[in-house]
Amino acid sequence: MQEYKRIDIQKDQIVPVAERMRREGRYLVMIHAFINKDGQMDVSYEYAVDPEIESYHVVGETTLPSIAMIYDVAAEWPERELNELFGIEFEGLDTSKRLFLPEDMLDPEGRGQIMVTPLSELVEKNRKEGTV
């Protein structure tokens, strides 16, 4: 069975963990994020240590170091996606272009990441623009 092992780390351990995993030839399955019940951002780096997944969690941080220099596009695309969905900033990551969402998703205050904006607000925005 696929087991799931959660390991909580601090922000400054993200890069050393990624470097160790890369050295060991581990595969970066994904970088996931969600907002936990305390309203804090929970970002998890999932590495395949077959047959297990080692999941390194960083909680309560919205600015994180990028690991794109270690895992190349396998980390760059998930980081860009999380930037668009949650507004998480990855230091050193070029987010000048949108990966998935339209360039005009953000309002003048910089809000509009779809996972943190209520659905009703997104519907209202689309209605004003005449797209629904």
Partner 1 sequence: MSYIVPVGPYHPSLEEPIHARLYTEGEVIKDAEVFVGYNHRGIEKLATERNCIQTLVLVERVCGICSHSHAFTYAMCVEKINGIEVPKRGDYIRVITAELERLHSHFLWLGIACHIIGHDSMFMHIWDERELVMDLLEKMTGNRVNYAMVTIGGSRRDVSDELRRELLDACDKLKAPLDRITEIAVTDKTIALRTKGVGVLTREDAIRLGAVGPHARASGVDIDVRRDAPYSAYGDFEFGVPVVDSGDVYARVVVRALECYESIKIIRQALENLPEGPINLGNKLVKIKEGQAVCRHEAPRGQLSHMVVGDGSINNHRVSIHVPSFKNTPTIPHMLRNNTVADAGLIIASIDPCFSCLDR
* Binding positions for partner 1, rule: CB under 8 A: 1-2, 4, 6, 25, 27-30, 32-35, 37, 44, 46, 48, 50-53, 55, 71-74, 76-78, 85, 98-102, 114-115, 119, 122
Minimum gap (Å) between residue 6 Cβ and partner 1? 8
Question: Toward partner 1, which CB reaches closer, 63 or 100?
Answer: 100
With vertex at residue 64, the alpha carbon angle to CA 63 and CA 68, rounded to the nearest 5 degrees, is 135
Q: Which two tokens stand for residue 131?
A: 């797209």
Per residue in 103-121, is it b (16+ CB within 10 Å) or e — as a string? eebbeeeeebbeeebeeee
Question: Toward partner 1, which CB reaches closer, 12 or 32?
Answer: 32
Question: Toward partner 1, which CB reaches closer, 48 or 106?
Answer: 48
75, 80, 81, 85: CA torsion to nearest 10: 140
Question: Toward partner 1, which CB reaches closer, 12 or 103?
Answer: 103
Q: How many CB atoms lie within 10 A of CB 36?
A: 11
Minimum gap (Å) between residue 16 Cβ and partner 1? 19
